[in-house]
Structure formats: C-alpha cells, structure tokens
Amino acid sequence: MKKLTTLLFLILLSLSAMAQLEVKSGSFKEVAGFVNINMDIQTDDNDVPFAVLKVKTENINDKQRRELLFQGDAATFIECEYKVGEVWVYLTYKATYLKISHPDLSSTEFWFPFDMQPKKGYELTLVNNAKLSEEELLERMRRLEEALQNQPEPQVIYVEKPAEPQEAPQSSKPQEPRYSFITANASLNSYTQPAYGITLGSTRKAGVFISLMTNFNFNHIGEMDYMASYSSDEIQTLIDNNGYNCKSEYISYSAILGIIFRIYGPINMKIGGGYSNNSMIVTLTDNGSLNQKYWVRNVSSYGFGGLVGLQAHFGKFVLSLDGATTNFKVYEVRLGIGCGTQGKH
C-alpha cells in the first residue's frame, strides 16, 4: 500500500511537470470594432497609448489564470484585468513581444506578427498542453514502478504539503508625481483696464488652483451698494449742465477657485468660479462742498466671477491663457507665465 501511494504521488508530480504553456497557432488577431474605453488605463507612464490584448485560455482553471504573469521588453508597460475565462492585458502598443509565465506551468514567449495600433483590441488563445505522449507517460510510470520494486525495503516518503500559492497581485500603475505651479498674470478687460495677480495650484492628472487679480486700487471697497447708480451718459449730462469737475477711478479685484485637469499631453484645462469686481467710480466736485460719488453701471459689474482657460506645462516652465468674466458683463483676457516643480509620488 505504501508503495502504491508513493507511486501515485510520483505520477502526480510527473503529470504536473508535463504542463506547458503555448499560444495557439493563428489565434492572434485584431478584434474588429473593439477600442479601449477604460479612462483609468489609457496610457503608460510615458503617456504612450495602451493596446488591449484579450488572452483567452484553454485547459487553465480560474486559479491558474489569476497566477499568470505577463512581461514585455524594457519599454513596455503592462496592466492586467482578470476576467472570467480570459485576462485583459493593457500593454504599450509599440510592444514587440509578450512573455507569459506561471509558477507551475512553465512559460512561453509570443512575438507579435504585426504592429499593434494604439487603443485597439486584439486577442490570442493560451493553451496548457501536455508535452509527453501516452507512450512516454506509460514508459515513465513503468520505470518508476521498477525503481520502487528494486529498493531493499519500503520507504515512507513524507511530503510536506505545498504552501497555498498566493494570488498574483494585479499590476498597478505607479501614482503620477504631483506637479505644483505658480504663474504671474496680467489682464485687460473689455474696457481696456489692466490688472495683475498670481495663480497657485497643484495637480497630477487633475488638481486645484486659486487665481488672485487686482489693479491695486482698494478705495471704495464695500461702498458700491451705497452709491448712486448712473450711466456714463447721465454723468456726462450732469457735468455739462453744472460744470462739475470729474475724477474717475477703476477698481478691479477677484478671487477665483477652480479645478485643473489634463486634456492632452502637457495641455491642461482650468475651470473656476468665485468673486469678481470690475467697477468704474466717478467723483463729481465743484468749488464748494459738492463731493458726490457715482457707480457707472454701463461699464461696471461685481459679484460672480468665472474663469475658463488653458495651461501648458513644459518641464519647469508654465504658460497659461485664460478668459474671465464678471457676471457675464465685463470680460477679461489673462496671460500667465510662471514655473512648476514636480514632487514625489
């Protein structure tokens, strides 16, 4: 009985050694109409698009399929999704070959017969084949039995139960380093009045920013709600009819908070909202005690401030072009130049 048990165990070891992974001949092909729509796995670490390879399996169980490992050359990045009956391999579309291995089923290398295209889908079939023929297997079993019979006395073979294989972790893309930036901005609004400020922010593929602008005239802050609201024509009539002296001041300041996100390569989009004030204040005086202030309503607005813009990151150099508005009445064009630094992951 012990001899038979030993023989059966050795046969099991022999059967496991026969396992051999192979790519079924002619199974590699493009999947018509299939494109990569997974927004989280679009490009590799060098922003080169991925292709998607559906690896179908035969004679490989679910546990073995999740233990499959995939490797490419030094320029190939790989991410995997383990699905029922197949593995979706996201790999740099310029990859020239794929190595597939398993701790118990050996390994195989497959060289792509044609160049893959970015974001396109392909498929192949991976098979677990037996390398020994039936005659070779019977011959090996006969030799094992003869070897056991020739032993001087039965030996008890103690076999340590193999450790349960750990499920191969799915490869994950390293988190992109954080990019922090600051720009100095200058703007002109629709009434050709300038303002200046800074924009601070931080992003990976997405992040946040704050933009602060002013023309450094902080007079009359909080007074606009208490001023008489006249149009520029009405104020001109007062001057013409009464001979008043006129002094005009322009007030411009804003604080806008928003999000910034990558749209292509080094180009990012900014969208934000906050508070903005672009107001013309006119003070009329005479030679006596008149000192009347008016808010010029047809060239002024304060309240909601909105911003939409583009920002490019070229290493440490940052360039931005934004469009801003105050209540969709006064509009600004903002140009920014600055620098950025790339932090840790």
Q: Is 277 strand, coil or helix?
A: strand
- Within 59-172, strands assigned E span 69-71, 78-83, 86-92, 97-102, 106-111, 120-130
The angle that helices 134-149 and 2-18 make with each other, rounded to 10 degrees, is 150
Sheet holding 106-111, edge to edge: 69-71, 97-102, 106-111
CA distance 208 to 205: 11
Q: What is the pLDDT of residues 57-95, one digit of tens each?
A: 988 888 889 999 999 988 899 999 998 889 999 999 999
**Residue 171 corresponds to which tokens in the numbers above?**
């490869």
CA distance 326 to 224: 15
Q: pTM (2 decimals)? A: 0.49
Q: Would you state the pLDDT for residue 16? A: 46
* CATH code of the domain made up of 179-342: 2.40.160.20
Q: Smallest Cα–Cα separation from 179: which of 140, 217, 139, 206?
A: 206
Cα Rg of the chain, angstroms: 37
Longest dimension (CA), the chain: 132
CA distance 203 to 100: 36
Q: Would you state the pLDDT for residue 323? A: 96
Q: Would you state the pLDDT for residue 189? A: 92
Q: Smallest Cα–Cα separation from 194: which of 170, 177, 164, 216?
A: 216
Q: Would you state the pLDDT for residue 40? A: 86
Residues in the chain predicted with pLDDT less than 70, given as ranges, are 1-19, 130-138, 140, 148, 151-163, 165, 167-174, 344-345
Q: Would you state the pLDDT for residue 141? A: 72
Cβ contacts of 75 within 8 Å, gap of 6 or more: 92, 94, 95
> Helix H segments across 199-285?
232-242
Q: What is the pLDDT of residues 250-262, one digit of tens each?
A: 999 999 999 999 9
The distance from CA 274 to its chain's CA centroid, rounded to whole angstroms, is: 27
Domain boundaries, the chain: 2-133+142-148, 179-342
